[in-house]
Amino acid sequence: MKKTLPYLIVSPYLLHLALFVLFPVVFSIVLTFHKWNIIAPMEYVGWGNYWRLFNDRLFWKAILNTFQFLLVHIPLQIVIALALAYFLNQKLFARGFFRASFFMPVVISGVVVTILWQQLFGLETGLLNRLLINMGLGRVEWLSNPNLAIVSIAIMATWKNVGLYVILFLVGLQTVPKSYYEAAEVDGASSWQQFRYITFPAINPTFFMVVILSTLGGFSLFIEPYIMTDGGPLNSTLSAMLYIYKQAFGYYHMGYSATLGLFFAMLIMMVVAVQKYAIENDE
Amino acid sequence: MGVFKPYKFILYVLLGGAALSFLYPFYWMILASLTPEAQIGELGVAPKGITWDNYAQMAGKIPIWRSLFNSVIVAGLSTLGVLIFGSTTGYALAKLPFRGRNMLFFIIIFTMTLPFQITLIPNYILMVKFQWIDSLAALVVPALNSAFAILLFRQAFKSIPDDLIHSARVDGCGELRIIFQIIWPNIIPTIITVGILTFMNSWNDVLWPLIVIREEKLMTMPQLVTLFAVGGRAEAQLGVKLASAVVLALPIIIAYAIFQRHFIQSMASTGLKG
């Protein structure tokens, strides 16, 4: 075998890496110091874009909205996924059917799910409000109340993704040998104690994975508010990604949107690192 | 025919309710897309006057079949590229010794932790400079490699005994033939996983097409349906909007109904990378 052969084999990847990953990372840093609409020549603005970012109230609002989304989405997702996985982890009739139906929305495009839920959330004829009225309760302004709209979107996102986390928890739960529970039973441990000292440690790695994956998913929240609310009402569902998109492709502020993208990516990496640290040092 | 157990009964009620809450909305959506506009508001479980009218109107307003074709081409080519380049790069990392191999491995891991928000804007500018805006190249070429696929293939190739490769070389096989003819038949599960994941990612992606495609006849299906839903061309006709969503969902629903187990296994494996 020739010495150059391995390099020849990895060369398509290296070319791709250089072009679509390494160059963009370097170029995005260059862009943050410039003002540019692609057509006119680039204009050097020093730290101008960074100053603008720190004083951009709408951007901070979008970051806050994104965190609000995560704050509802992650706990809801974990509780429901864990409960459903727990129910599924026993001898059951039609277990495969339940598993497959929970997983169904995971494979369907977010575009379909959003168009569907826009209808479910409808004020007058939406299925949810019709259900509430039939139960003798009042209407809910799912998407038109600025305090509620981001929560509604978080509920929808949970419905879409929870099936994946059910499967992940189920894999985690199945790693615990049955004999552990039997032994605990003999020693007189309560169900809560069994959960706390046997189940929980076993699914701890899954727990970590679920938090990281749904954090990353939540930070890329874009198409749901884009279709449903266009960021409204009163910018209450403007996600960070939607704001970056609008700056770049609505106003062609390339330098500024690159600055927002870089800053936001740093924030994501920091949040994930903090979560990693917190979970690993939990015990 | 055992004894009635209240615990099991409650369990089935809970699970059944959950399953219903995931399936019923899709059933309702398909039914509503077949219902005359005036009746959708009171639609529940039973059909109220079946009509294809919504589909006919939708297909008259947007080139939906053309976008289906575009999506199949884009997702198909991306998947093919990722399978080929993922295999070759993964093979080199697993089986060929060369200087810088460990470094390359760490670079690949690093690219996986890099949020796409950094590279989005510069990549768009790259497409403008290449004059790839409004071309399929913008959708396919940047998607030809995937770090995750390389790592999965590397893992699969590591489990193949070196003897198999050595004896193939003695028989005069080149490296490409070794990868695709000798080893591929032994790692079918990895190929299926990478194939499903890549195809689904490409099929469902909408942010990147929104950025690089402006011309309607080149749009992918999720993009076209998105712009139809937000653009006002559905003229607030719910049934027409839902019809476009059904056409977008149906290929995946059918594929999922057939290959359900593979879908679940593949997508659950994305979680195991951490």
Question: Mind listing the pLDDT tens digit for each residue in B133-164?
Answer: 999 999 999 999 999 999 999 999 999 999 99
Whole-angstrom distance, CA of residue A279 vs CA of residue A127: 39
Whether B135 and B242 share a structural domain: yes
Q: Tens digits of per-residue pLDDT, A2-56? A: 788 999 999 999 999 999 999 999 999 999 999 999 888 999 999 999 999 999 9
Average pLDDT over chain A reads: 91
- Asked if the structure places residue B176 within a domain, the reply is yes
CA atoms within 13 A on the CB side of B25: 29
Listed by number, the residues of chain A in 222-241 with a beta carbon closer than 8 Å to a beta carbon of chain B are 222-223, 226-227, 230, 241
**What is the predicted pLDDT for the residue at A56?**
96
In the predicted model, is pLDDT for residue B84 greater than 70? yes
Count of structural domains within chain B: 2
Whether B14 and B139 share a structural domain: no
**What is the predicted pLDDT for the residue at B273?**
46
In the predicted model, is pLDDT for residue B235 greater than 70? no
- Asked if the structure places residue B1 within a domain, the reply is no
**What is the predicted pLDDT for the residue at B216?**
93
User: Three-state DSSP class for B5?
Assistant: coil
**What is the predicted pLDDT for the residue at A125?**
81
User: Three-state DSSP class for B51?
Assistant: coil
A169–B contact, CB cutoff 8 A: no
Residue B119: pLDDT band with limits 50, 70, 90: very high
Rounded to a whole number of angstroms, the distance from the CA of B34 to the nearest CA of chain A is 14
In the predicted model, is pLDDT for residue B43 greater than 90? no
For B207, nearest residue in chain A (alpha carbons): A223
Average pLDDT over chain B reads: 91
User: Would you say A210 and A76 are in contact if contact means Cβ atoms under 8 Å apart?
Assistant: no
Whether B263 and B200 share a structural domain: yes
Whether B47 and B65 share a structural domain: no
- Read off the pLDDT of each residue in B7-27 and give the average, rounded to a whole number: 92
Listed by number, the residues of chain B in 156-185 with a beta carbon closer than 8 Å to a beta carbon of chain A are 169, 175
In the predicted model, is pLDDT for residue B271 greater than 70? no
For A10, nearest residue in chain B (alpha carbons): B89
Name the residue range of residue B80's domain: 56-271
**What is the predicted pLDDT for the residue at B1?**
47
Residue A280: pLDDT band with limits 50, 70, 90: confident
- Read off the pLDDT of each residue in B189-202 and give the average, rounded to a whole number: 93
Q: Do A261 and B144 touch (CB under 8 A)?
A: no
For A87, nearest residue in chain B (alpha carbons): B11
**Domain boundaries defined on chain A:** 57-118+155-280
Angle between helices A254-280 and A200-219 (to 10 degrees): 170
Whole-angstrom distance, CA of residue A119 vs CA of residue B239: 10
Whether B39 and B64 share a structural domain: no
**What is the predicted pLDDT for the residue at B9?**
87
Judge if the upstream peptide bond of residue A12 is cis by omega within 30 degrees of 0: no
- Residue from B80, B73, B71, B67 nearest B198 by CA: B80
Whole-angstrom distance, CA of residue A161 vs CA of residue A221: 13
For B210, nearest residue in chain A (alpha carbons): A249
Identify the CATH homologous superfamily for domain A57-118+155-280: MetI-like (1.10.3720.10)
User: Would you say A91 and A178 are in contact if contact means Cβ atoms under 8 Å apart?
Assistant: no
Whether B33 and B82 share a structural domain: no
In the predicted model, is pLDDT for residue A133 greater than 80? yes
Which chain B positions have a beta carbon within 8 Å of A5's beta carbon? Answer: 96, 175
Whole-angstrom distance, CA of residue B27 vs CA of residue A104: 12
Whether B44 and B177 share a structural domain: no
**What is the predicted pLDDT for the residue at A187?**
86
B214–A contact, CB cutoff 8 A: no
- Read off the pLDDT of each residue in A136-164 and give the average, rounded to a whole number: 94
Whole-angstrom distance, CA of residue B201 vs CA of residue B220: 13
In the predicted model, is pLDDT for residue A237 greater than 60? yes
User: Would you say A34 and A43 are in contact if contact means Cβ atoms under 8 Å apart?
Assistant: yes
Whether B111 and B64 share a structural domain: yes
Among candidates B12, B207, B241 on the partner chain, residue whose Cβ is nearest the Cβ of A115: B241
**What is the predicted pLDDT for the residue at B211?**
95
Buried b (16+ CB within 10 A) or exposed e, A167-204: bbbbbbbeebeeeeeeebeeeebeeeebeeebbeebbe
Whether B45 and B173 share a structural domain: no
- Asked if the structure places residue B262 within a domain, the reply is yes
CB atoms within 10 A of CB B84: 16
